[in-house]
Structure 1
Amino acid sequence: MSKKFLIVGLGNIGAEYVNTRHNIGFKVLDFLARKESLDFQTVKLGALAEYKFKGKTFLLLKPNTYMNLSGKAVKYWMEKENIPLENIFIITDDLNLSFGTIRIRKKGSDGGHNGLKNINQVLNTQDYTRFRFGISDEFKKGQQVDYVLGEWDDNEKAKLPERLEIASEIIKSFGTAGLDNTMSAFNGK
């Protein structure tokens, strides 16, 4: 089994997106990087930080391709670092889950998420692990884009640090305890 993992947080680059719900993938990786004193380096198709933990290497990638073209960065770094599909971990927001709810799956559809849709197309498979972070669907009809690209409300902001802590533990567990154990320990938490 490979000891190298590609952990991809989906988001959009630019200051206007930093604190938006859609950027939870970036936020999770930024939290882990701060906690472990890691620095992101600007690299081809994104920003990358390397995290070593219990004999494993985690490459934390924030694609700079914008959400809808995330697959290009995922494929490039998979191939460059020779990382097998089973060691890919994609972190994304999910409107269908209440705020902070965690759902980890071995494979699945894009669920209407444009970042996952592009990854599915570029990799030509849906068989990769995804970590969906619930952002809820508390918006009025026709307001989905504004909601997703909107900033966290005060209640969400207060609860976010605890959820980010759990998310960073999930990443470590994926690489050290394996996917099945990680799903058992964290799904629905």
Structure 2
Amino acid sequence: MKLIVGLGNPGAKYLGTRHNVGFDAIDYVAHHLNVQLSKNKFKSIIGEGNVAGQKVVFMKPLTFMNLSGEAVSACVNWYKLDLTDILIIYDDTAFDAGVIKIRKSGSAGGHNGIKNIIEHLGTTSFGRVRIGVGQKPPNFVLADYVLAKFEDEQFLAVKEQMPMLKEAIQMFITKDLDIVMNRYNVSR
């Protein structure tokens, strides 16, 4: 079984913000893989389905970004998941909008949602997909930048990468993350 988590904040005021790109990714991928996000479980909205013969859970924690670890750890513990079967999708201001980087482990890199997941799982060894949302301009506070809506060209740059992200997640469902990284962590 695979767990694919998109990080974001619940509520209409966060729709279309940079910080919610993980939610946007889950919505896109689950929809295109015919998995309906319709259950409230683990302080999250989840969708369970079967993709390429593998059970998959798509998850959008409703705990707000900085407490995402509560929801993720509850799901991991309930299903007794191996950490290699988890993939977390989130925003990253270190990359231009639309750049997607996949990694097997690492620090939180200043991302409070990932920091909370690391605290709750007790490890940095879980897969992540970082989606670039553009670098913060020098005159912006980071929180204000990520909680603001995308500029039009940033939104389009991210939207253009969603089909490729769906392919990468489909590959992760049936293959090792190293194979996915080798295929999709290339300059575009």
TM-score (norm 1): 0.93
Within the alignment, does 1:18 sit opposite 2:8 as a pair? no
- The within-5 A match list for 1:26-65 is 26-40=23-37, 41-65=39-63
1:95 to 93, 96, 105: 93
Q: Mapping of 1:30-179 within 5 angstroms?
A: 30-40=27-37, 41-179=39-177
> Bigger CA drift: 123-132 or 31-40?
31-40
- Of 4, 8, 31 in structure 2, the residue corresponding to residue 7 of structure 1 is 4
* 1:112-152 per-position Cα deviation (integer Å, ceiling 9, x unaligned): 00001101111111011111111121423343222111111
User: What is the CA–CA distance in structure 2 between the aligned matches of 1:33 and 1:53, rounded to whole Å?
Assistant: 10
Deviations 1:62-81 (A, max 9, x none): 00111111111111001111
Aligned-partner Cα distance in 2 for 1:143–1:166: 31
Q: Which structure 2 residue ranges, 5 or more long, are not aligned?
A: none
Q: Which amino acid aligns with 1:14?
A: G
Deviation string 1:146-178 (CA, Å, 9 cap, x unpaired) is: 211111111122233321111111111112122
Distance, in Å, in 1 between the alignment partners of 2:140 and 2:154 is 22
Question: Equivalent pairs: percent with the same residue?
Answer: 38
CA distance in 2, matches of 1:158, 1:116: 25
AA partner of residue 5 (structure 2): V
Structure 2 letter corresponding to 1:13: P
Calculate the TM-score normalised by the size of structure 2: 0.93
Contact 2:17 2:150 in 1 (8 A): yes
**Structure 1: tracts of 5 or more residues without a match:** none
Where 2:35 maps in the other structure, the secondary structure is coil
Deviating above 3 A after TM superposition, structure 1's stretches of 4 or more consecutive aligned residues are none
Amino acid aligned to 2:2: F
